[in-house]
Each structure stands twice: as C-alpha cells, then as structure tokens.
Amino acid sequence: MKTKLLYWIPTMQILLVSVLGGLLDAVQTDEALQVFRHLGYPDYFSTLLGVAKILGAIALVLPVSRTVKEWAYAGLTFDLGGAIVSILAVGDPAWRVAIPVYAMVMLQLSRYAWSRRAREAQLTPAAAT
C-alpha cells in the first residue's frame, strides 16, 4: 500500500503539471511564448515540447510497455533538467527554479516507486502464472 501511494501521489502531480503546462505550451499561449522567448527558444519549440510533455505524462499512467514508460520518465527528466539549467543560464534568480526542482523530485519519486512496484510484482507468486 505504501509503494502504491508513493507512486500515485507524485505521479498525479506530474500528470497535472505536465498536461496543463503542456497544453499551454502546445497551443502557444502568450504566457508560454513569453517564457520560451525569455529563455532564448524559438516559438515552434513551445509546441514541440508541449506535445512531448502531454504524451510523456499520459504514458506514466497508462498501461504501456516498460520501454515506453522508461522513455517517458527520461523525456520528462530532460524537460525538467533543461528548464532548471535554462532558468539559471539566463541569469534569473535561483528561486525561480523552485517549481521545476519540486517537479523533478516528484518525478524521481514516481520513477522509484514505479520500478519498485515492478520488482515486487515479479517476486509475487501471482506474477509467475
């Protein structure tokens, strides 16, 4: 039960942040474009990254193959890591990375709990049948 909660609580937070933020990026809202321009990225990157965030977040909660789920975790890790580096690279104050750092922690907790649940499922007798 603890592992299930350790998976679902951070995963739902990542799902909400990635899907909502991804939608805003994908449709190129004025606010999203301001952020991308401030960080030095072209406008089209907003749509590309927004769609990737949405697909990655959905892959975390759907019953997809292990490989697809691993790629989703990797992609979202690169997204959040890139956000942290980009914010710091343009000279923004360090406190501006608070949200992506928090999201990165939640993402890594989700990944840890997912892999732990997968290992536990392999060890149970029901998984062998």
Domain ranges of the chain: 2-121
Q: What's the burial of 90, exposed, middle or buried (CB within 10 Å: 0-12/13-18/19+)?
A: exposed
| CA torsion angle 22 25 28 33 (round to 10) | 170
Whether residue 129 is predicted with pLDDT greater than 50 in this model: the reply is: no
Please state the pTM of the whole predicted model: 0.90
Please give the pLDDT value at position 109: 96
Per-residue pLDDT tens over the stretch 5-33:
999 999 999 999 999 999 999 999 999 99
Whether residue 121 is predicted with pLDDT greater than 90 in this model: the reply is: no
Please give the pLDDT value at position 68: 97
- CB-based contacts of 59, cutoff 8 Å, min separation 6: 68, 69, 71, 72
Which carries the bigger pLDDT value, residue 127 or residue 114?
114
Per-residue pLDDT tens over the stretch 56-100:
999 999 999 999 999 999 999 999 999 999 999 999 999 999 999
Nearest to 106 by CA among 29, 11, 2: 11
Whether residue 120 is predicted with pLDDT greater than 80 in this model: the reply is: yes
How many CB atoms lie under 10 A from the CB of residue 117? Answer: 14
